[in-house]
């Protein structure tokens, strides 16, 4: 006879003879919010008090087993019962408890499994400890119980990488006891019966001894000290895993304290902002609603950008027609795409067979006429308005009605491009970032006449390509490049006024950027900025302090950066070294301009650079180019190597506060009142004591 008890709104118990099923039902991902925690604790306690069931099996409804603690509760006052206490109740249960995990058992979800007396995985299961990606560490016994099941090195690997481990590997490592192909409910009933029949052994994880491995702990601690000194939680993970040698209560106490301490850090706040921000950018009404079908994509241009975009589409399983004007360009494009896909194979992203299938979906063609049957065209040719206008005029006649016409322009006016067609409603900007098959950002640029279903299709495409789509309005450079154009001048001013390019790079790398701005310039090619400066020379504000003197002179020597063997740095064997010729150029420019160089501390470099970024980012929000501060933040995290643990420029701005930022800008304005101006929105925030987070909430 089946008997169902609703413990609370998220947890129910179903008894069938000697078997009790505890069923978790908390969509979308069964996170262990307060109601789930309370329900689990009450269910285990009730079943033990009653003493009628001989075995308990826990499973979850919906798309996944528990995917972790409820992240929305982080940063708020904790509500009892605490997750580690609930899991101790489960582990201490007199009645054996088994867990059946499907989907993604992550963080607190995986830890729930670890606290049970045996674990069943459903085919396709992935387990993981992703807390590190949120600036945290496993806080519900993961650092104590996983070493008992799978050893210290594997625990360190999982907890420090945050990677999702496939079920097969989890089985091999002894993390799960069985892997079955069944529904969670079927598997729970079967496994419970097997426990009753003595066919599935159960044991308390805390009763298993940890195999000591001091070397793994010491080596890892040393590696983290060298490479991740600026991060908080990785070091705490090692400390907590080391404590797994202690009895359960003591080890859990150390883990708990480390978890609570990590929760207080700005890194945790930044990383959780990034987690929700990544999802929030597509949570807007413009991203929803009707979309157009995209079964085939045309990409115009076989250069680095076009080939990267084509690769990205092929990786997502979308057939691509690649168009070039001449055979050699087309051949180069195909070669680049093939190389990109081979790279994906060597990185384990796809198999060799999948690569061959992807290449079969590529149709290289000459001339635009072949684009008559595609659903979306992405133009990725030179950044020249007349070339783009010519192409869009032709696409207007060639493409079928309803086809979406996109430009990958990084700066140009999408409305002007759209005006070359008699279907501006079908035109938008799809701005990819190089390398386009790797970088996750996609700016979706809305023209004045772009139809709503075209924008929604842009977001659907971003999702299909596994990219983060962010809505931007038309302006010079959209969100990212417009802000970049402004703050990169600060890097040049710092060098003119006394810092060396290397000091600027080192200071910003110390802040967390993967590469300083001069190294980025060398990598991208200094000729790109040089061309832009020349293009804009005629329209430059005469009151603006020119920032390009040093870079212009470097380019006049043909030192375009990495591809030329030298730029700000010299590239040979080993690490790049600062270019001594550049130091001479800097000295000459300073002398020419009558600048007496002064010393800058690393702190001042970071402050000036970040303040300039925040200033333009504020303006971008103020004039509506970006819908909300969080959109700017995600552009920088996914397109510009901004340190994720700092959450993005405007999340970071909140850690300084509008008032202090206004004070800084006012101080800097004493030297250059044209460049350093307080944006009215920032002034208003300073006056009213509000934050960018408030603007996110309000939008
Ligand atoms: N808490 C609260 N909400 C969560 C959540 C969590 N742990 N995980 C996902 N969600 C929400 C998302 O915000 C999203 O909400 P919206 O639909 O409102 O945007 C919804 O669930 C669906 O998530 P995704 O869009 O990400 O769905 P997906 O299918 O692409 O991915 C997933 C599913 C793999 C579980 C992914 O959401 C994910 O990685 N989640 C985070 C997992 C995690 O970090 N767990 C550890 C938490 S910390 C912890 O557990 C500490 C501890 O030790 C006690």
Give per-residue pLDDT as tens, 484-499: 999 999 999 999 999 9
- Alpha carbon nearest to ligand 1 atom 16, residue: 279
Q: Which residue among 32, 37, 66, 67 is best mutated to probe the pocket of ligand 1, counting the most ligand atoms within 8 A of its Cβ?
A: 67
Is the predicted pLDDT of residue 105 greater than 80, yes or no?
Answer: yes
Q: Which atom of ligand 1 is nearest to the CA of 137?
A: 53
How many angstroms separate the Cα of 590 from the Cα of each of 495, 585, 609?
A: 9, 9, 20
Q: Is the CB of 447 under 6 A from ligand 1?
A: no
* C-alpha to C-alpha distance for 167 and 182, rounded to whole angstroms: 14
Q: Is the CB of 103 under 6 A from ligand 1?
A: no
Q: Is the CB of 141 under 6 A from ligand 1?
A: no
Q: Which residue among 26, 33, 65, 68 is best mutated to probe the pocket of ligand 1, counting the most ligand atoms within 8 A of its Cβ?
A: 68
CB 448 within 8 A of CB 474: yes
What confidence tens digit (pLDDT) does each residue in 300-340 have?
Answer: 999 999 999 999 999 999 999 999 999 999 999 999 999 99
Among 32, 114, 30, CA closest to 73: 32
Q: How confident is the model at residue 148 (pLDDT cuts 50, 70, 90)?
A: very high
Q: In angstroms, what is the span from residue 67 Cα to ligand 1's centroid?
A: 6
- Alpha carbon nearest to ligand 1 atom 28, residue: 29
Q: Is the CB of 279 under 6 A from ligand 1?
A: yes
Q: Which residue among 10, 29, 164, 466 is best mutated to probe the pocket of ligand 1, counting the most ligand atoms within 8 A of its Cβ?
A: 29
Q: In angstroms, what is the span from residue 134 Cα to ligand 1's centroid?
A: 11
Q: Which residue among 27, 28, 33, 65 is best mutated to probe the pocket of ligand 1, counting the most ligand atoms within 8 A of its Cβ?
A: 28
CB 445 within 8 A of CB 414: yes
Helices (H), ranges, 411-451:
414-418
Q: What is the pLDDT of residue 613?
A: 98
Q: Which atom of ligand 1 is nearest to the CA of 63?
A: 29
**For 451-495, what is the HEC assignment?**
CHHHHHHHHHHHHHCCCEEEEEECCCCCCHHHHHHHHHHHHHHHH
Q: Is the CB of 542 under 6 A from ligand 1?
A: no
Q: What is the pTM of this model?
A: 0.92
Q: In angstroms, what is the span from residue 29 Cα to ligand 1's centroid?
A: 6
Among 490, 489, 518, CA closest to 503: 518
Q: In angstroms, what is the span from residue 163 Cα to ligand 1's centroid?
A: 14
**For 266-334, what is the HEC assignment?**
HHHHHHHHHHHHHHHCCCCHHHCCCCCCCCCEEEECCCHHHHHHHHHHHHCCCCEEEEECCHHHHHHHH
End-to-end CA distance of the chain: 53
The pair phi, psi for residue 149, each rounded to 5°, is: -90, -35
Q: Which atom of ligand 1 is nearest to the CA of 74?
A: 48
Q: Which residue among 30, 71, 164 is best mutated to probe the pocket of ligand 1, counting the most ligand atoms within 8 A of its Cβ?
A: 71
Q: What is the pLDDT of residue 1?
A: 77
- Alpha carbon nearest to ligand 1 atom 44, residue: 130
Is the predicted pLDDT of residue 558 greater than 90, yes or no?
Answer: yes
* C-alpha to C-alpha distance for 633 and 510, rounded to whole angstroms: 19
Q: How confident is the model at residue 179 (pLDDT cuts 50, 70, 90)?
A: very high
Q: What is the pLDDT of residue 39?
A: 98
Q: What is the pLDDT of residue 75?
A: 79
Residues 6 or more apart whose CB falls under 8 angstroms from that of 659 comprise 686, 689
Q: What is the pLDDT of residue 190?
A: 98
The predicted model gives 242-267 an average pLDDT of 96
Q: Is the CB of 71 under 6 A from ligand 1?
A: yes
Q: Is the CB of 217 under 6 A from ligand 1?
A: no
CB 626 within 8 A of CB 478: no
Q: Is the CB of 255 under 6 A from ligand 1?
A: no
pLDDT more than 70, % of the chain: 100
Q: What is the pLDDT of residue 76?
A: 86
Q: Is the CB of 68 under 6 A from ligand 1?
A: yes
CB 188 within 8 A of CB 100: yes
* C-alpha to C-alpha distance for 418 and 396, rounded to whole angstroms: 10
* C-alpha to C-alpha distance for 598 and 103, rounded to whole angstroms: 58
Q: What is the pLDDT of residue 524?
A: 85
CB 305 within 8 A of CB 409: no
Q: Which atom of ligand 1 is nearest to the CA of 72?
A: 2
Q: In angstroms, what is the span from residue 7 Cα to ligand 1's centroid?
A: 24
* C-alpha to C-alpha distance for 382 and 558, rounded to whole angstroms: 21
Is the predicted pLDDT of residue 239 greater than 90, yes or no?
Answer: yes
Q: How confident is the model at residue 92 (pLDDT cuts 50, 70, 90)?
A: very high
Higher pLDDT, 534 or 91: 91
Is the predicted pLDDT of residue 86 greater than 90, yes or no?
Answer: yes
- Alpha carbon nearest to ligand 1 atom 34, residue: 104
Q: Which atom of ligand 1 is nearest to the CA of 106?
A: 45
What confidence tens digit (pLDDT) does each residue in 21-70 have?
Answer: 999 999 999 999 999 999 999 999 999 999 999 999 999 999 999 999 99
Q: Which atom of ligand 1 is nearest to the CA of 283?
A: 19
Q: What is the pLDDT of residue 671?
A: 94
Indicate the burial class of 386 (C-beta count within 10 angstroms; 0-12, 13-18, 19 or more).
exposed
Q: What is the pLDDT of residue 528?
A: 83
Q: In angstroms, what is the span from residue 71 Cα to ligand 1's centroid?
A: 7
What confidence tens digit (pLDDT) does each residue in 590-648 have?
Answer: 999 999 999 999 999 999 999 999 999 999 999 999 999 999 999 999 999 999 999 99
Q: Is the CB of 70 under 6 A from ligand 1?
A: yes
Looking at every residue in the chain, the average pLDDT score rounds to 96
| b/e burial code for range 393-415 (CB count within 10 A of at least 16 → b) | ebbbebbeeebbbbbbbbbbbbb
Q: In angstroms, what is the span from residue 454 Cα to ligand 1's centroid?
A: 29
Q: Which atom of ligand 1 is nearest to the CA of 134?
A: 44
Q: In angstroms, what is the span from residue 70 Cα to ligand 1's centroid?
A: 8
Question: What residues does 97 pair with on adjacent strands?
Answer: 56
Q: In angstroms, what is the span from residue 301 Cα to ligand 1's centroid?
A: 38
Q: Is the CB of 130 under 6 A from ligand 1?
A: yes
**For 574-609, what is the HEC assignment?**
CCCEECHHHHHHHHHHHHHHCCCCCCCCHHHHHHHH
Q: Which atom of ligand 1 is nearest to the CA of 64?
A: 35
Q: Is the CB of 67 under 6 A from ligand 1?
A: yes
Domains of the chain: 2-263 (3.90.226.10), 285-475 (3.40.50.720), 481-698 (1.10.1040.50)
The predicted model gives 533-559 an average pLDDT of 93
Q: Is the CB of 31 under 6 A from ligand 1?
A: yes
Q: In angstroms, what is the span from residue 273 Cα to ligand 1's centroid?
A: 13
Q: Is the CB of 134 under 6 A from ligand 1?
A: yes
Q: In angstroms, what is the span from residue 279 Cα to ligand 1's centroid?
A: 10
């Amino acid at each position: 006879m089946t008997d169902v008890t609703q413990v609370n709104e998220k947890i129910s118990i179903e008894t069938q003879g000697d078997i009790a099923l505890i069923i978790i039902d908390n969509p979308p991902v069964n996170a262990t919010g307060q109601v789930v925690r309370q329900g689990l604790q009450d269910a285990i306690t009730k079943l033990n008090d009653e003493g009628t069931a001989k075995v308990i099996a826990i499973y979850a409804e919906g798309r996944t087993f528990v995917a972790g603690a409820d992240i929305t509760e982080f940063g708020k006052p904790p509500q009892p019962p605490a997750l580690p206490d609930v899991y101790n109740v489960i582990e201490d249960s007199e009645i054996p408890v088994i867990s059946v995990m499907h989907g993604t058992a992550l963080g607190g979800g995986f830890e729930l499994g670890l606290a049970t007396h045996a674990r069943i995985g459903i085919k396709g299961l992935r387990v993981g400890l992703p807390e590190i990606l949120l600036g945290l560490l496993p806080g519900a016994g993961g650092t104590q119980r996983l070493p008992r099941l799978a050893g210290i090195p594997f625990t360190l690997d999982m907890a420090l990488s945050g990677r999702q481990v496939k079920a097969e590997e989890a089985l091999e490592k002894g993390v799960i006891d069985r892997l079955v192909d069944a529904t969670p409910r079927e598997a729970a009933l079967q496994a419970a019966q097997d426990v009753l029949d003595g066919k599935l052994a159960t044991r308390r994880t805390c009763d298993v001894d940890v195999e000591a491995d001091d070397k793994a702990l010491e080596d890892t601690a040393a590696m983290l000290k060298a490479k991740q000194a600026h991060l908080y939680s990785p070091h705490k993970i090692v400390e907590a895993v080391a404590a797994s040698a202690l009895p359960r209560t003591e080890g859990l106490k150390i883990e708990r304290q480390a978890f609570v301490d990590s929760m207080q850090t700005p890194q945790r706040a930044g990383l959780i902002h990034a987690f929700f921000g990544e999802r929030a950018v597509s949570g807007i009404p413009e991203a929803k609603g009707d979309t157009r079908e995209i079964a085939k994509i045309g990409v115009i241009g076989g250069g680095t950008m076009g080939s990267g975009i084509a690769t990205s589409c092929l990786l997502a399983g979308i057939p691509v027609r690649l168009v070039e004007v001449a055979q050699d360009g087309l051949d180069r494009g195909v070669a680049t795409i093939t190389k990109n896909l081979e790279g994906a194979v060597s990185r384990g992203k796809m198999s060799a067979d999948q690569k061959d299938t992807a290449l079969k979906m590529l149709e290289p063609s000459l001339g635009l006429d072949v684009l008559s049957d595609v659903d979306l065209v992405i133009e990725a040719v030179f950044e020249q308005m007349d070339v783009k206008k010519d192409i869009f005029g032709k696409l207007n006649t060639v493409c079928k009605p309803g086809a979406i016409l996109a430009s990958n322009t990084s700066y140009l006016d999408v409305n002007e491009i759209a005006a070359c067609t008699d279907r501006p409603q079908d035109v938008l900007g799809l701005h990819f970032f190089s390398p386009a098959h790797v970088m996750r950002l996609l700016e979706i640029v809305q023209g004045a006449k772009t139809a709503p279903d075209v924008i929604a299709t842009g977001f659907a495409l971003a999702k299909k390509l596994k990219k983060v789509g962010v809505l931007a309005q038309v302006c010079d450079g959209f969100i990212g490049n417009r802000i970049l154009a402004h703050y990169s001048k600060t890097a040049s001013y710092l060098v003119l006024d006394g810092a060396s390019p290397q000091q600027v790079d080192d200071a910003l790398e110390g802040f967390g950027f993967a590469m300083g701005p001069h190294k980025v310039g060398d990598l991208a090619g200094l000729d790109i900025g040089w061309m832009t400066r020349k293009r804009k020379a005629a329209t430059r504000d005469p009151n603006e302090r020119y920032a390009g003197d040093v870079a212009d002179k470097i380019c006049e020597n043909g030192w375009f950066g990495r591809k030329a063997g030298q730029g700000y740095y010299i590239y040979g064997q080993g690490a790049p070294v600062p270019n001594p010729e550049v130091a001479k150029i800097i000295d000459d420019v300073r002398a020419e301009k009558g600048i007496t160089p002064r010393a800058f501390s690393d702190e001042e470099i970071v402050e000036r650079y970040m303040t300039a970024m925040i200033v333009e980012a504020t303006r971008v929000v103020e004039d509506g180019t970006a819908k909300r501060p969080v959109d700017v933040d995600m552009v920088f995290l996914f397109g510009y190597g901004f340190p994720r643990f700092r959450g993005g420029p405007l999340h970071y701005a909140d850690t300084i506060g509008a008032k202090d930022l206004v004070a800084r800008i006012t101080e800097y304005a004493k030297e250059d009142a044209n460049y350093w101006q307080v944006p009215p929105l920032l002034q208003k925030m300073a006056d009213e004591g509000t934050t960018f987070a408030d603007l996110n909430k309000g939008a």
